[in-house]
Amino acid sequence: MTESVAQTTLSTHSSGLTGSVRVPGDKSISHRALMFGALAIGETRITGLLEGEDVLNTAKAMRALGASVEPKVAADGVVTWVVHGRGVGGLVEPDGVLDMGNSGTGARLLAGLLASHRMTAVMTGDASLRSRPMDRVVAPLGLMGARFESRAGNRLPLTVIGTGEPVPMVYESPVASAQVKSAVLLAGLQARGATTVVEPAATRDHTERMLRHFGAEVRSEPAADRPGAVAVTVVGQPELEGSDIVVPGDPSSAAFLVVAALVTTNSEVSLFNVGLNPHRTGLFETLKEMGADLTIQNEREEGGEPVGDLVVRSSKLKGVVVPASRAPSMIDEYPILAMAAACAEGETRMEGLGELRVKESDRLAAIADGLKACGVKVEIDGDTLGVSGCAGAVPGDAIAEVHLDHRIAMSFLVLGLASEQPIGIDDDDAIATSYPSFIADMTTLGANFKKIAASSRAPA
């Protein structure tokens, strides 16, 4: 490996992970709790909010739009975020630019809010977010009466010229995207009448669940004449009422600890209060098909969302075919699934991964390049990723380039725990966007992570 001047985080083989962790709050639900609280009348109290950079940027944006958003720390150390909203249609024009950092979810949902208010606002983000196209939300929001000015491809910085009277409509989304659906439904809150999004396959329904929790009328039903499609309708101009929200643990964050325990020998890990929304559990289903010793205990419902506790033990995994139909329920988990596949026996084929190319990075390419550098055979055929497993420890001895992507960074740190030689990442700063305590939590369980001066190593 060649010389470099950067600092690197290395992950080395572990003899076992043991213990228990309460994973941080669900990022998708945290974004929505802050936004819906800002649209409600009265006080919304949120416990379990993810305090990662992405969500904190959403909190700043809600303050800039006129809502009061403040954390309150109780004597026992429990943090409750208190939001005093302005009501549907009551947000005010911000004085400055709204910086959404690395969050595609935050930016696309915020576009729906801004589009339905008579104001002009500018959104931007970090280098990764500025490279991601916003066409998929700009197109339907434009049909509702908003106007946009941006760089080529509707990339950030994006100027939103909102309308105070969005046009209710039926929008047939060309992609199964919870972000698109949510942006249109949020704009539809201000419309006079019903707004419907028809999506080709059901996606995560956090928006629908939470809108009902705040008092909106939301309907979900099979779309007529389109097998598998779902029509989601919101009735406009409701009076949302401030509500208490308990944010469950993020299954996308739990995924890294789950796979770490599966691929590291002599491991048994318990994860408490993990969200089990049926539109988010595709990874757990897939891992069980691969032979994972993964059990769910104490299933219950909190704040309108199903939750439970996970117990995970080391397992010998086998390759499987993951159908494209499962992608909407696990789109963020493919990077860590690929790490499990690398340790499995046989080939794992993951189909329908085109959406990975427009995430925080081109995740499909980042996964493939990193695994190849670690000595794993990988093949990309269109939108299908094939990983030939090593039936145990991978060779390693490489540093993966993470492209400012938190999920790529955490995935390769997990893989290093089950490698013959260390695996490193060129940058761990991005991890703070979704799981600030990841390295601390993993170290508590027994992971071997360390910072080194990268004078002897360079990104693969």
Which residue has tokens 């998708």?
28
Beta-carbon contacts of 314 under 8 Å, excluding residues fewer than 6 positions away, are 16, 261, 262, 263, 264, 265, 266, 267, 268, 293
In the DSSP assignment, the letter for residue 394 is B
3-state secondary structure (DSSP) of residue 337: helix
Judge whether 54 counts as a catalytic residue: no
Rounded distance, CA 159 to CA 140, Å?
16
Beta-carbon contacts of 82 under 8 Å, excluding residues fewer than 6 positions away, are 43, 44, 45, 46, 68, 69, 70, 71, 72
Q: Report phi then psi at 401, rounded to 5.
A: -85, 125
Residues forming beta bridges with residue 149, ordered by sequence position: 159
Among 54, 99, 126, 332, which one carries the catalytic annotation?
A: 332
Q: Measuring CA to CA, how many Å separate 119 from each of 99, 165, 290?
A: 17, 12, 51
Do 33 and 247 form a contact (C-beta atoms < 8 A)?
Answer: yes
Nearest Cα residue to 405 out of 448, 445, 444, 370: 370
Do 59 and 81 form a contact (C-beta atoms < 8 A)?
Answer: yes
- Which helix (H) or strand (E) segment is 141 a member of? helix 135-143
Do 367 and 409 form a contact (C-beta atoms < 8 A)?
Answer: no
Do 294 and 317 form a contact (C-beta atoms < 8 A)?
Answer: no
Do 264 and 291 form a contact (C-beta atoms < 8 A)?
Answer: no
| Residues belonging to the active site | 332
